[in-house]
Amino acid sequence: MGGYAVVDVEATGRSPWRHRVVEVAVVLLDGSLRTEEAFSTLVDPAGPVGPTHVHRITQDDVVGAPRFREVAPYLLDLLAGRVMVGHHVSCDHAFLEREFARIGVPLPPVQLLCTMHLARTHLPAATGWGLAACVEAAGLGWYPAHTAMGDARAAADLLRHYVRAEALPPADRREPLRAAASVPWPRLGRARSLAEGEAVPLLRREAALGPWPLGAAAPGLPDRGAAVAAEAVPTAPGGE
């Protein structure tokens, strides 16, 4: 336990109160910013997937994807004791907080670290504060834009860039890490929709390097720019 959880969500719209998470990714980093684990899946929002022209997720893509309640126990374990990092992290946090609230789990107060906020001071050459502009200004190369895992990995690389540039010296990182590790964290049993011992079926998008112009096909992939692969993770013991 301890370290950072770099998160990104794709959603069916802009409002955490009215819209739902349709894809989520978490990249776990230790205190030295080494990758420990990476998790992502499409999520069935139980309704329209929203702006396909932005996130390139179609209604067919979420057929067979887990509902949020089914991946919630694993997500809780990933976030426990971590500083939550993201590009405009307050938005990702708000969507996750609201999704957990819908299933009756208050998300504890978490330490937040925003790579977009840091860019305003430490990336003066950036042409804007969006993730693509910040990645370009930091010289980090292309990434699979508007896929949850692509954006999460890009935010993790931005965090490493800031640390290398001494925008976040060790003294400034130590206290948030200590505070995050001390927060009592809830646990959640598996969803009742899953049979005893049944693994949660995940649907993970894979995409070639980007970002590329919206509407353009990624190299060697269909027009939506992502392929979908099935995985599974074991559920937590116990029931809802």
pLDDT in tens, 62-110: 999 999 999 999 999 999 999 999 999 999 999 999 999 999 999 999 9
Domain boundary assignment for the chain:
4-233
Which pLDDT score, from 0 to 100, does residue 66 have? 95
In this prediction, residue 27 carries a pLDDT of 96
Return d(Cα 228, Cα 240) in angstroms, integer.
Answer: 29
Only one residue has tokens 């969500």, namely 9
Burial zone of 164 (CB within 10 Å; 0-12 exposed, 13-18 middle, 19+ buried): exposed
Dihedral in degrees, nearest 10, Cα atoms 189, 61, 40, 92: -90
Q: Enter the tokens of residue 161.
A: 């860039």
Residues 6+ away with beta carbon under 8 Å from 136: 126, 127
Write out the chain's pLDDT in tens, 240 residues.
589 999 999 999 999 999 999 999 999 999 999 999 999 999 999 999 999 988 989 999 999 999 999 999 999 999 999 999 999 999 999 999 999 999 999 999 999 999 999 999 999 989 999 999 999 999 987 788 889 999 999 999 999 999 999 888 888 899 999 999 999 999 999 888 888 878 888 898 876 545 544 444 544 443 333 567 777 775 554 444
Task: Name every residue whose Cβ is closer than 8 Å to that of residue 195 and which is 6 or more positions away in sequence.
Answer: none
pTM, two decimals, is: 0.89
- Per residue in 206-217, pLDDT tens? 765 455 444 445
Q: Cα–Cα distances in Å, from 52 out to 14, 17, 58?
A: 13, 20, 6
The arrangement of secondary structure in 4-233, i.e. its CATH architecture, is 2-Layer Sandwich (3.30)
Whole-angstrom Cα distance, residue 125 to residue 136? 9
